[in-house]
Amino acid sequence: MKGTYVSYSPDGSAAGLKAFQDGQAQFAVGSAPLTDSQASSVRGMCTTKGAMSIAAGVLPVGVAIKLKGVNDIILDAKTLAQILQGGITRWNDPAVAALNPDAKLPDVAITVLVQEGPADTVRPVNSYLKDAGTNWNPPAEDRWPGSVKGQVQSPPLDLANKLDDTNGGLSILDGSIIGNRFVAAQLVFDGKPQRLQASSVVDAVSTGNVTVSADAITQELDGRSGYALATVIYMYLCRQYTDERMGQLVRSFGESALSEEAQKNANAYAFVMSPSKKAMNEGRALVKAIGDGQ
């Protein structure tokens, strides 16, 4: 649609959701689907039909490591949980060494540097550690348990700079920031180490479970197929807008965001993968039906 534009405010997903609920935004973006009660209670610009959540992208999350002389390392959920909580404090700890028998691990202290929650990168790590059966009890899905060390109030890019200056440092960062700057640990899923790379994430997405309902298209990642630590990006849109012309604008935006071109650009510029084909098709159908009495 020509002559319109999208204004982005870098305030975080919580502020975005609140703005959406208050009628201060036509749509918002977050890292988890709205619950049924959340979706049906959203008003703002929505009619009584409430809102819906549509998976629109998958942003890999990595365990970033800065350790001189080490270019590859494997961690599993149990070890990672112990490191984050200060149970393992040195890189040559026997538990780490057992996972990396061929690596020469230095006797260097582990410095944990993580973004204080709520943060979208926290959610998949919490989920990974909980699903693996570790004793992991976060106060909320996007917050760290209080026992996690090294929580700092820095935006991700500042956190990356700090990690760069810390030999022995470990952080949780999204894949686009890790890039080639840091070593991303291989993580063990279903007993098998998986490397943080696009093809592995795409494999985990393609066999991941997709749920479809009138108010949500959700995407999960399958750790049996590939690297499954990732934030799924959801668009929150009204199912119907109180002003049909607003509905047209949002429909246009949604179709654009889910178009092949936009998805390719997201991958090229921001290391964001597409949801599975099924999720995309179902998402497009829901967007197309905005305001159609669905």
Contacting residues toward another protein, per CB under 8 A: 2-5, 7-11, 15, 18-19, 22, 24-26, 243, 245-246, 249
Buried b (16+ CB within 10 A) or exposed e, 166-193: bebbbbbbbbebbeeebbbbbbbbeeeb
Rank residues 105 and 249 by Cβ distance to another protein and give the closer one: 249
118-122 own/partner pairs: CB under 8 Å, 24+ apart: 118/12, 118/14, 118/142, 118/143, 120/13, 120/30, 120/31, 120/59, 120/231, 121/61, 121/156, 121/172, 121/173, 121/174, 121/231, 122/172
Q: Is 71 helix (H, G, I), strand (E, B) or coil?
A: coil
Residue 24 Cβ vs another protein, minimum distance, rounded to whole Å: 5
Inter-axis angle of helices 244-257 and 277-288, to 10 degrees?
160
Amino acid at 135: N
Residue 172 Cβ vs another protein, minimum distance, rounded to whole Å: 24
Rank residues 254 and 275 by Cβ distance to another protein and give the closer one: 254
Rank residues 6 and 140 by Cβ distance to another protein and give the closer one: 6
Residue 23 Cβ vs another protein, minimum distance, rounded to whole Å: 9
Residue 14 Cβ vs another protein, minimum distance, rounded to whole Å: 13
How open is the CA angle 280-266-52, to the nearest 5 degrees? 40
Rank residues 2 and 68 by Cβ distance to another protein and give the closer one: 2
Rank residues 19 and 95 by Cβ distance to another protein and give the closer one: 19
Token look-up 């970033």 returns 64
Q: Which two tokens stand for residue 31?
A: 């890292």
Residue 18 Cβ vs another protein, minimum distance, rounded to whole Å: 8
Rank residues 25 and 55 by Cβ distance to another protein and give the closer one: 25
What sign does the dihedral 139-116-148-126 (CA atoms) show? positive
CB 207, CB 224: distance < 8 Å: yes
Rank residues 275 and 291 by Cβ distance to another protein and give the closer one: 291
How many residues appear in the chain?
294
Residue 122 Cβ vs another protein, minimum distance, rounded to whole Å: 21
Rank residues 13 and 276 by Cβ distance to another protein and give the closer one: 13
Token look-up 């996690």 returns 148
Residue 19 Cβ vs another protein, minimum distance, rounded to whole Å: 7
Burial of 6 (0-12, 13-18, 19+ CB in 10 A): exposed
Residue 42 Cβ vs another protein, minimum distance, rounded to whole Å: 15
